[in-house]
Structure 1
Amino acid sequence: MVTGKGGTGKSTVAAALALALASTGKHVLLCEVEGRQGIAQMFDVDPLPYEERQIAQGLAGPDGRAGTVHALHIDAESALLEYLAMYYKLGRAGRALDRFGVIDFATTIAPGVRDVLLTGKVYEAAQRNARNRSALRYDAIVLDAPPTGRITQFLNVNSELAGLAKMGPIKSQADTVMTLFRSDRTAVHLVTVLEEMPVQETADGITELRASGLPVGGVVVNLVRPQDLSADALADARKGRIDRRLLEKELESAGIEADEALVDGLLTEARDHAERRSLEDAQRQLVAELDVPTYELPRIAGGLDLGALYELAAELREQGLAGDAQDSGASR
């Protein structure tokens, strides 16, 4: 499961992780639950229906094998209709309730119901291997989960439901879902950027997940800027010690007219970059103190497209996140 503060790129990381796993020869199901059709946009495919659909293939690994990425857009209304059809045989009757707006009312008036349905569908996909051997069997499921601020509540909703239902099938189902979410088959990865608020929210999220007995995976630091300058060069830029005449000479040797406005702008840009790097290094140190594995993904120049997703997937695979997910049992 992949979570993160809004704006950190958690959906991008979830998609890249799915491709990274597929590049190890695994068949992967990538799920989203927030209703934004983000997967379709990132992979440049038509909006996803409430059914599993192949959207990409992983790059071939050293052994020549390449897995696949299937996607599933989970919405609470469709999940409730499916639930009514499966367990209460309300096929047409369930669709009639939908036309009257009853299902939308039920999932809106009680947000907990919505989360139970969304997590229940993910659980159903994870357990399918044991029930239906004729269906496509996934080696891993990657969930683009809700933001860090509500991830613990989202994953823990079945535990609360089990506490309300003291006995019977509802309690049994809720307990079974929580057993999966708290097992070594599951890992919750958190995405952050090197800014104060996202890093603090990541730390708080790890504390809350651990307090609820939910397994923390790693922290993915996203949108990392290039680190081409040495510490000494950054210090010079930050303190305004860059040799102006040397800069002018270098510009002229490159065939660029070194007018005063250009040089002033470059010096200001250099100082701003150095100050930003100093702040990022301080946040990187805080991330390192979280006592979890960390991974870094670069800021992609030119924006995000499918090619960029494959680049990020290769970075995650090279850094070992795809391997770590398999080792933790998340790909079972």
Structure 2
Amino acid sequence: MKTFTHSIAKLSGRRTALATLAGLAVGAAVLPTSVLAQPAFPSKLITIIVPFSAGGTTDILARIVAQGLTTELGQPVVIDNRPGAGGNIGGLLASKAPADGYTLLMGTVGTHAINASLYKKMPFDPVKDFAPLTRVANVPNLLVANPKQPYKSVKELIAYAKAHPGQVNYASSGSGTSIHLSGELFKSMAKVDMVHVPYKGSAPAVTDLLGNQVGIMFDNMPSAIQHVRSGKLVPLAVTTAKRSPELPDVPTIAEAGVPGYEATSWFGMLAPAATPAPIVAKLNAALVKVLAQPDVKKKINDQGAEVYSETPAQFAAFIKSESVKWGKVVRESGAVAD
């Protein structure tokens, strides 16, 4: 009888254990996928959307960073160029991407501080639709001219433009970019009449500048400096308050004849707004580490840019302050998107 009772108890225990396991299985089946075990981030290819054409400054900087991230994260990081509408096409695409950390955006002062004031209707909200990761670089713009043009300095350019109103064409990488607005600010402060010619990115604009289809351009230094060094373009001035270490003999626009003039471009990495905080933190840490590497810093500095990294919160605050600053410039200059 004792043996029989022991067997019944043992059998009952097994049934209880089986019932418990079955209950756990059912419970797991109804849990959301996010709660279940998932591969650690990142486990696949990461895409950086560049909202401008290949060969421009945004593209150059993104490719330098992508190469470093590929090594740091152990997954391939590739570039997807989506130019147009002053960066708004690529920005919209990135804002609608899955918020899982696998689609990022190389944003600019144009896409995230200028366009909101320049365009009557934006396809995305530069603040609400993105999770800032970090700034990547600050970049001077460089006022360059085709050597065949009759001016070799800012003062000569202003004199020529005033003598020939509406006959000086200046190229840009697109309406609403810092390159465009640098020209609009120059027009306003120098009181000259020049014609804006927008392109879908810096590279095609520079191509026409080299071919003398347009006379001047306030280009980001990384995409113009090689042509200055080769003698294919004439540097008239830099747009920043101080001279660039890469071109120390080139004056600032303020020094060269337009007191108080200053315009600086910046570039930074962002993710879609709902990206989980742990992924944002991991991407920020990886980016900061990559940007601190001597070889990466040298590659960026050689382009005439200044490496810059910060926390997501600092970058978010910076974007908001830049939106206020450039909104004022847009209003005062009267600039509009073409």
- TM-based fold match above 0.5: no
Larger radius of gyration: 2
TM-score after normalising by structure 1: 0.24
TM-score after normalising by structure 2: 0.24
> Counting strand residues as a fraction of each chain, which structure ranks higher?
2
